[in-house]
Structure 1
């Protein structure tokens, strides 16, 4: 007996959730919605016209109606990325060439000119440290 009551309650719950939806406008121009049609007015059935509220549409990937548009967007992205990589490589090559020239300079006698135009020299130890640091930088970034 208990199972029959549970089965009846379950079937009523299913019917309540699967009912139709009606829309009508009253004499004052107000729009009403209900799961039962009104007695005093003609109602429009909205069954099958509404999407479920709890659908997962927002998390789905958007499909472009024209797949060629999506392919064009992908091609443009790849071209921009390749152009940026080419610019980065060019800048890195310029920096490496400058570092190599500075390293060649540091291998000989070195003197610096300050803001006033006076020559200043560095010790052999300072020159060797600068050359070593520059050589490590070249090996790390230019090889």
Structure 2
């Protein structure tokens, strides 16, 4: 039961390590990257350290005429079953996080609605924790 709770907690925490960056082009054509949003009114794209670009706005939710399914949009706080599928998702997330932490790009964490760059010590601590979790859950250990 304890391993199940730990696995559930890891699934919820693992995506937090992904860094957030912003990309925009100024009036002179210079492309900028920053961990802080550009000046208001500037067209920009959110970029993750994995190189993917997210859309500026989230897609509009589909209208549900019966008003059902509203609770399904909220993140689940229920424990996650220790199934091969869930373990594979956890391992994929941990591997991605480790690659991000081992890279040279800054890692940005969301702390209470504020985005802050992870310090070198925090980065080392998170990397050690992620490696230990990967060994425990993904290497047959």
Q: What is the TM-score with the length of structure 1 in the denominator? A: 0.35
Larger RCO (CA within 8 A; separation ≥ 6): 2
Q: What is the TM-score with the length of structure 2 in the denominator? A: 0.35
Which has more radius of gyration? 1
Task: Judging by fraction of residues, say which structure has more helix.
Answer: 1
